[in-house]
Amino acid sequence: MDDQFLRFFEAAKALIIYIDGEQVFDKSAAMGCGGYDTYQSELFYDLIANAREALKEFESSVNKPE
């Protein structure tokens, strides 16, 4: 695996870990009384889940002994 691809893979993995750990949301709604409810839209959630799965599959394929 070349250095540029490895850097891309590590950056994508770090981003997914950050989103999961920091509970990043892309939507918010006013609840009244000045409060806000934040949440992940279905599209955002699906994008994160798909990226997580693709990274996991790739990492497994790279780590397989020959």
SS (H, E, C) 6-35: HHHHHHHHHHHHHHHHHCCCCEEEEEECCE
At residue 64 the predicted structure's pLDDT band, cuts being 50, 70 and 90, is: low
**How much is the pTM?**
0.76
- Does position 65 have pLDDT exceeding 90, yes or no? no
Tell me the sheet residues that pair with 61. none
- How far apart (Å, rounded) are the C-alpha atoms in residues 45 and 25? 9
- How far apart (Å, rounded) are the C-alpha atoms in residues 35 and 30? 6
The tens digit of pLDDT for each residue in 17-62 reads: 999 999 999 999 998 888 889 999 999 999 999 999 999 998 888 8
- How far apart (Å, rounded) are the C-alpha atoms in residues 11 and 35? 34
